[in-house]
Amino acid sequence: MEKAVIIKYSEIGVKGKNRHLFEEALVRRIEDVLSKVGDGFKVTRPQGRIFVESEDGSDFDFEDVKEALLKVFGIQEFALCHVTKDDGTEALAKELVDFLKEQYEGEVFSFKVNTRRARKNYPLESMELSALMGEKILDAFPEWKVDVHDPELIVHIEIRDKINYYAKSYQGLRGLPNGTGGRAMLLLSGGIDSPVAGYMMAKRGIVLDAVYFHAPPYTSERAKQKVVDLAKQVAAYSGEIRLHVVNFTDIQLAIYEKCPHDELTIIMRRYMMRIAEDFAGQDGAMALITGESVGQVASQTIQSLNCTNEVCKLPVFRPLIGFDKQDIIDISQQIETYETSILPYEDCCTIFVAKHPVTKPRAERIRASERKLDDVIDELYKTAIETTETIVIN
């Protein structure tokens, strides 16, 4: 008997001629996360399934593989599977009962056995084998009962050259595999929202690059490290992220010095979008992503969003736009970015923030205010781009 993991993937996006691209991307991603678990895993994809085995048939720790697969987009569900050679029904029943005891000792279920016969010369019909194994399971677990319509547990048996059996399955994240959706640039702050926004777009198969604006010495090394940590936590799901850390201090100081203080945030946000779009161009990213949500703060009213939007040509994805803060927090807890996000380090926006920011900025007025930067902004902008540090995170 050998161990394997059987993986079923979601049907979304798998139809038609792109199916193989989806499958290959999923296999690559699974290989990638398993390479961090250990050497010697083999990932194959026989008919509509993906199998993970050890290359030489040796044992492996399912718990580690499980943790890794729980972070892969594109998986519907997966299960620990045993692969055994066909030594007759007595031997199969014994192995199957041992397998169930290992996973379910002490638990009580309604169940059914589901047999699939890919090898047609097997001596029993599918139904006959299911019935026979059902009896053997009932002998071993007298409190269990059979329910063919709505069972709590389905015991699967697949008859190929060898015989596979599995029962307990784990829900995957669904979504689309990493890399099937192109590349986008995430504006990643140290807050709660933007890591969640990145996660949600990565779930649609998008590869993430990120940009973080810091303002040393007003923001500390710890604040930057916090963003690096968040990027790492998101990268556990999204795969590698190239993080651009932009020194934004001089631009912010210039805005502070020359522009009306109630417009600081909105003007600052416009420069963030412009710089993010420049890096998107360099990296081949085709959209920007932010963690904005309507009405959350002054810079996220519908008027403010119009005002920040007008400076960029790329589409801006705001996956949290209609989300409640608590819903966003729930996701950030699930993906385990929350604890990092709430660390109390200063953020470049909070340092220069006005007491009463405009909530309904008019674009013409903001443009007029920005013209006060004309003398200095080109040089500052160029320096900000040139002094950016890029960190590859995976």
Between strands 163-171 and 75-84, the pairing is antiparallel
| Dist. CA 221–CA 326, nearest whole Å | 29
Six-digit token pair at 301?
């009213």
* Position 200 contacts ligand ATP (CB under 6 A): no
Is 337 a binding residue for Mg ion by CB under 5 A? The answer is no
Quick one: 105 exposed, middle or buried, by C-beta within 10 A (0-12, 13-18, 19+)?
exposed
Among residues 236, 297, 242, the alpha carbon closest in space to that of 266 is found at 297
Within 247-286, the residues that bind ligand ATP by CB under 6 A are 272
Run of H or E including 205: none
Binding of ligand ATP at residue 192 (CB under 6 A)? yes
> Interface with Mg ion includes 293 (CB under 5 A)?
no
CB of 222 vs ligand ATP, minimal distance in Å: 14
Answer yes or no whether residue 335 interacts with ligand ATP by CB under 6 A. no
Instruction: Work out whether 308 is an interface residue with Mg ion (CB under 5 A).
Output: no
Walk across the sheet containing 75-84 and list its strands. 41-44, 50-54, 2-9, 75-84, 163-171, 153-159, 110-117, 145-146
Residue from the set 172, 179, 181, 291 that interacts with ligand ATP by CB under 6 A: 291
Residue 158 or 263 with smaller CB distance to ligand ATP? 263
Stretch that binds ligand ATP, among 4-12, 43-51, 107-115, 190-198 (CB under 6 A): 190-198
Alpha carbon 233 to chain centroid distance? Answer: 10
Binding track over 172-211 against Mg ion, x by CB under 5 A: -----------------x-x--------------------
DSSP-derived pairing of the beta strands 389-393 and 241-247: antiparallel
348 belongs to the binding site for ligand ATP (CB under 6 A): yes
Q: Between residues 180 and 194, which has the closer beta carbon with respect to Mg ion?
A: 194
Sign of the alpha-carbon torsion through 110, 79, 61, 207: negative
Interface with ligand ATP in residues 298-327 (CB under 6 A): 299-300
Q: Which of 3, 269 has the CB closer to ligand ATP?
A: 269
Q: 211 to 240, contacts with ligand ATP by CB under 6 A? A: 211-213
Q: What is the DSSP letter of 189?
A: -
CA distances (Å), origin 189, targets 192, 228, 295, 348: 8, 10, 18, 9
In whole angstroms, give the CA distance from residue 367 to residue 347.
Answer: 25
The site partner of 212 among ligand ATP, Mg ion, none (C-beta below 5 to 8 Å per kind) is: ligand ATP
Using CB under 6 A as the criterion, which residues of the chain lie in contact with ligand ATP when the complex forms?
A: 187-189, 191-194, 211-213, 272, 290-292, 296-297, 299-300, 347-349
Using CB under 5 A as the criterion, which residues of the chain lie in contact with Mg ion when the complex forms?
A: 189, 191
